Amino acid sequence: MKRPILSPTLAANEKVIALRAAGRKVYHMGFGQAPFPVHPRLHKALCDNAHQQQYLGVAGLPELCEAVLSHQAALTGLNPDDYDVIVGPGSKLILYALQMAIPGDIMLPVPSWVSYAPQAGLLGQRVIDVPTVSVNNTLQLTAESLETAWHEAKRNGLNPTKLLINFPGNPTGITISDPELQAITEFCRQHSTTLISDEIYGRLAFDGQYRSASSHFPEGAVVTTGLSKHLSLGGWRLGVGIVPKAIDGLHQSLIQIASETWSCVSTPVQFAAIEAYTLHADVERFIDNSRQIHKVVNTHIADKLRLMGFDCPTPTGAFYTWPEIASKPDATSTRFSDSQQLADHLLENYGIVSLPGEAFGEDPSKLRLRLSGCDYDGALALSTLEKHGADKLLLNIDEFAPGVSGALQQFEQFAQSH
């Protein structure tokens, strides 16, 4: 299969930049970029370290690695002595390095984030799809679906050695329950499968609980996370991998890959990141406020879409919704044969930029879309929250997030079109 040059999410962003430059009104629901300004403490830390010009050690600044482990210990109870850390230029590259460092084929839930499967493809590894099951308005990985996929893969001559999960999830906006996590980790133990747990949205679970696979599977779950989402620092490009010492040689393999590729992450950014992992009260408040705003905006999007007649799970974290347009029992959707065609139609006729479900491995005929609810003025949203409180945030959404309200109006028109 010919792979697109740009990852779909980055391609959507470039399309929006070009359309806006050409004067088109577009509603950007295609890109997962958290909208809040750089926290002043982190801004200052970066400026204070701008003079640092030296390369750092490949694994990352030791003080930063320590801060990361203390931070995870405080939030999830892991024992810092049991882990090594690697710092990378975004968690995306650490995820790629992990796929490279663990030979064999990868089990991926359907749906899952756009880059996992292409990364496996770049490495010449194969992907084993594991269907998720709809339970109580959420999508879950069950012990049965994992077992079935594993046995079928074995029968077909594949070599499943790793499972990658992500929660709260992109594209679904759904987080995971403890029993589900328990079932997944049990499966991994039984089948000697390394669990890669992408927890980049871990601090954006709407109930404020950071759940981690490391709590259930301390010896076999590699956690990836970073600054991009809960601190809106995607462009700083700082991600971390938290690697159990019990997985023999994995940390060394990652360092080898890093040493031949990215060498080290930007030195000023690493120094500034120590502050991000220090649990300062003001930074924690900023994260709490960001999370509350994401919750209000994205729950609102899901509620509105359901009122229009589309199935849409209620998001429980991150900043995404995952409506199924084919679920509406009328002619709105019958004109489209796949989700790409639907996404093209929405852009062309309503100015809505979305990502088609098929980019996430979903059945194209379900006409699923991944909508990002984060294209708004983050500074204004934060000041509105401080001024009026979380309860009143929704009343002010038209002011701080006119693009989101506008997109929903456009969707309304689409829902009524036949």
Binding site for ligand PLP (CB under 6 A): 32, 90-92, 113, 166, 170, 198, 200, 226, 228, 234, 239
CA distance 364 to 65: 42
**Which CB atom, from 113 or from 271, has the smaller least distance to ligand PLP?**
113
Report, in Å, the least distance between residue 348 CB and ligand PLP.
Answer: 25
Burial class of residue 211 in the structure, from the number of CB atoms within 10 Å of its CB (0-12 exposed, 13-18 middle, 19+ buried): buried
Report, in Å, the least distance between residue 112 CB and ligand PLP.
Answer: 8
Report, in Å, the least distance between residue 237 CB and ligand PLP.
Answer: 7
**Which CB atom, from 49 or from 166, has the smaller least distance to ligand PLP?**
166
**Which CB atom, from 61 or from 97, has the smaller least distance to ligand PLP?**
97
3 state DSSP class of 393: coil
Tokens encoding 318: 């991150």
Residue 33 Cα distances to 70, 132, 347, angstroms: 27, 26, 19
Nearest residue (beta carbon) to ligand PLP? 90
**Which CB atom, from 119 or from 332, has the smaller least distance to ligand PLP?**
119
Residue 373 Cα distances to 151, 158, 178, 354, angstroms: 38, 38, 26, 10
Contacts of 42 (CB under 8 A, 6+ apart): 231, 233, 272, 275, 276, 283
What interhelical angle do 281-307 and 378-388 show, nearest 10? 100
The region, left, alpha or beta by phi > 0 then psi within -120 to 50, assigned to residue 363 is beta
Report, in Å, the least distance between residue 294 CB and ligand PLP.
Answer: 13
Contacts of 288 (CB under 8 A, 6+ apart): 208
**Which CB atom, from 262 or from 400, has the smaller least distance to ligand PLP?**
262
Report, in Å, the least distance between residue 174 CB and ligand PLP.
Answer: 12
**Which CB atom, from 37 or from 235, has the smaller least distance to ligand PLP?**
235
Report, in Å, the least distance between residue 165 CB and ligand PLP.
Answer: 10
